[in-house]
Amino acid sequence: MQDSLILEIADFEHMVHTGIYSEETGKPQPLRFAVQVRMKPIEHYDPDTSLDASKNYMDLKFACSEALDGGTHFKLIEAVADHVCETLFLQDKRVEAVTVKIVKLALSEADEKIGITLHRERR
């Protein structure tokens, strides 16, 4: 089996313009993100290994926040997840795969988690 490095962010909430119903359009709604990025690790990490041997975790947060603040309205949260994946692929050629889980918090009535998970491999 090949080694892999998984970086992740979980339970990150951000307001995003998304939805298809009239009550959803024109205003952002809260989404909860979990993102995993798979990279090939270096052979060994010493205590003084520099950040360029990995990826800055804040890039994952950026892909779920500032990268989505362009004023675009995403009809589907699948499109939001796709945008997050593409942002991370463009940021770093070492990213091999991205998994994005999104929960639409506005749909929850009894604390259930309603949403999607999209997994993309670099093409």
> How do strand 95-104 and strand 29-39 relate by DSSP bridges?
antiparallel
| Residue 48 DSSP symbol | T
CA–CA separation, 81 vs 64, rounded Å?
A: 9
Q: What's the whole-model pTM score?
A: 0.92
User: How much is the mean pLDDT over the chain?
Assistant: 92
More confident residue, 92 or 109: 92
- Is the pLDDT confidence value at 103 over 90? yes
Q: How confident is the model at residue 21 (pLDDT cuts 50, 70, 90)?
A: confident
What is the domain partition of the chain in residue ranges?
5-121
pLDDT for residue 71: 82
CA–CA separation, 5 vs 39, rounded Å?
A: 5
Q: Which CATH class is domain 5-121?
A: alpha beta
> How do strand 115-121 and strand 29-39 relate by DSSP bridges?
unpaired
Secondary structure class of 80 (helix, strand, coil) = helix
Tens-place pLDDT, residues 37-93: 999 998 999 999 998 899 998 999 999 999 998 789 999 999 999 999 999 999 999
